[in-house]
Amino acid sequence: ILGSHLNTLHNLSYYQTLMRGLRQAIIRQELDKFVRDFYAALEF
């Protein structure tokens, strides 16, 4: 049960950070750059 709880906390933190970045990119009108950078970071 502890593992699933920690995983949930990690996922919530990840999505909060992601949504914060999305909001800032939209406000700054830099959504295209945000999306490019996001997908570039996913490539290993």
Express each pLDDT in 4-41 by its tens digit.
999 999 999 999 999 999 999 999 999 999 999 999 99
End-to-end Cα spacing for the chain: 31
Asked whether the CA dihedral 29, 32, 33, 38 is positive or negative, the reply is positive
- What pLDDT was estimated at residue 44? 63
Separation between Cα atoms, residue 18 and residue 13, nearest integer Å: 9
Domain ranges for the chain, please list them. 2-42
